[in-house]
A and B are shown apart, each in its own frame.
Chain A
Amino acid sequence: MEAGSSDDDWKQWFERHGPKLLLCARQWTRTLADAEDVVQEVFARYWRHQRWLAGEPLALLVTSIRRAACDLARRDERRSRREAQTEVMLGEGDGRMFETPFEGEERRAAIERALRAIPAEQREVLVLRVWGELTFAEIAEQLDVPANTVASRYRYALVALRERLKASDTECHGR
């Protein structure tokens, strides 16, 4: 966002990137409500202290969101259970993850189901890469793992997703 951002600037920016931030936040929080709280807190802090920084702030905000989500988890003594609660974090009853695409509602639901089903560490990388628009190097820094590991997880995620979508297609057409 440019220096001297006006009232309308933040709205335009948030309209474009807010959904991505929320999706990223949902990877690290238990509920949609927690994810929204984290996004709000981080965006407010960014707006107060960092909006004058040059360049596109998406990567910075994704980093801040991850930190805030971890802090929240620590505060609630949930961090140790975070991985175990993966299924709860992206539970079916916690709101849709995506808008309906051109391919239709059925395809959206199938992709969301497949995403929820793949391992959390793979999904995390996929979300950060595709919708968080981070590079492998940036994701590696975020997650404190080697960039090669990130690239592998990304590939595994796509393969796992493809397999699950194929299975889902077969189920639908086999009915």
Chain B
Amino acid sequence: MDDELKELEAELRRLRPAAPSAKLWSGVAQAVVNSEKRSRRRRVVAWWSPMAAAIAVAAVWLGGRGEGGAEASRRIASAENTATPETSFKPVAAEKVLLASQEEGYATLDDGTRARRIRSLYLDTIVWRNPETDASLTWTVPREEVRIVPVALQ
């Protein structure tokens, strides 16, 4: 290519194509916003199944307050069956940590029995794992529990 053509080529490269119209800008902006909304919706759906299963496990597991480890394991196992079929996440660990406990005095039950009222604050953690992808989901939530313990008079 001779020098004259190279000069022309350089001049062309310096030319800036005309800017897109305001209509195109707003159309693209709208498309990007819609795309973000759609992908957010997809993320919510993707998380919903394991989350629903986690909530189901939590409900079953927390229902058995103060029960032994064997019973808790049984409940986790049964919760596996409540997981929606499309999810392959499985609960692999559950833990509750007692953060604080406070005696709130005595209460009288309907049958006249005296009972202690104890308020406890726990931190519950449930870990889910997808064996296919090794992805894990950890669900941690604080929980307040009030227990009524009948007083045995001696």
Q: Are B32 and A99 in contact (CB under 8 A)?
A: no
Q: Distance (Å) between the CB of A45 and the closest chain B CB? A: 9
A48 & B18 in contact (Cβ 8 Å cutoff) = no
A118–chain B nearest beta-carbon distance, Å:
12
Report if B5 contacts A (CB, 8 A): yes
Per-residue CB proximity of B14-52 to A under 8 Å, as 1/0?
111111110111011001101100110000000000000
Chain B residues within an 8 Å CB radius of A158: 1, 5, 8-9
- We find that the number of chain A residues with CB closer than 8 angstroms to chain B is 34
**Given A36-B21, A102-B14 in contact, is the A130-B28 Cβ separation under 8 Å?**
no
Nearest B residue to A51 via CB reads B35
Is B65 an interface position by the 8 A CB rule? Answer: no
Q: A19-B20, A98-B15 are in contact. Are A44 and B8 (CB under 8 A)?
A: no
Set of chain A residues within 8 Å of B14, measured between Cβ atoms:
101-102
Check: B109 CB closer than 8 A to any chain A CB: no
Q: Quick check: A36 and B11 within 8 Å, CB to CB?
A: no
B25: chain A residues within 8 A (beta carbon):
14, 18
From A22, A40, A111, A130, B18 is in contact (CB under 8 Å) with: A22
How far is A160 from B34 in the complex, measured between Cα atoms in Å?
45
| B-chain residues with CB within 8 Å of residue A99 when the two chains form the complex | 15-19
Q: Does B13 contact A (CB under 8 A)?
A: yes
Contact A97 B18 (CB under 8 A): yes
Q: With A23-B17, A155-B1 in contact, is A130–B24 under 8 Å at CB?
A: no
Q: Give the interface SS of chain B, mostly helix, strand, loop or mixed.
A: helix
Residues of chain B within 8 A (CB-CB) of A23 are 17-18
Interface size grouping (class) on chain B: 20 to 34
Q: Is the interface of A mostly helix, strand, loop or mixed?
A: helix
Against B, the Cβ 8 Å flags (1 = close, 0 = not) of A148-166 are 0000000100110110010
Shortest distance in angstroms between B13's beta carbon and chain A's nearest beta carbon? 6
- How far is B16's CA from A19's CA once the two chains are assembled, in angstroms? 8
Q: When A39-B24, A44-B31, A44-B32 are in contact, do A18 and B19 touch as well, CB less than 8 Å?
A: yes
Instruction: Name B15's contact: one of A18, A101, A165 (CB within 8 Å).
Output: A101
Return chain B residues, CB-CB under 8 Å to A131. 15, 17
Q: Which single residue of chain B is at the shortest CB-CB distance from A40? A: B27
The answer to whether the Cβ of A56 comes within 8 Å of any Cβ in the partner chain is: no
Say how far A164's CB is from chain B's closest CB, in angstroms: 11
How far does the Cβ of A158 sit from chain B's closest Cβ, in whole Å? Answer: 5
Evaluate contact between B15 and A19: CB separation under 8 angstroms. no
Whether A95 is near chain B, meaning CB under 8 Å from some CB there, is: yes
In whole angstroms, what is the CA distance A164 to B38 when docked?
A: 50
B16 touches A48 (CB 8 A): no
A40, B17: Cβ atoms closer than 8 Å: no
Q: State the A residues within 8 Å of B (CB).
A: 7, 10, 14, 18-20, 22-23, 36, 39-40, 43-44, 47-48, 95-99, 101-103, 108, 111, 126, 130-131, 155, 158-159, 161-162, 165
Name 10 interchain pairs, CB-CB below 8 A, sorted by A.
A19-B17, A19-B19, A44-B32, A97-B17, A98-B18, A130-B9, A155-B1, A158-B8, A162-B5, A165-B8
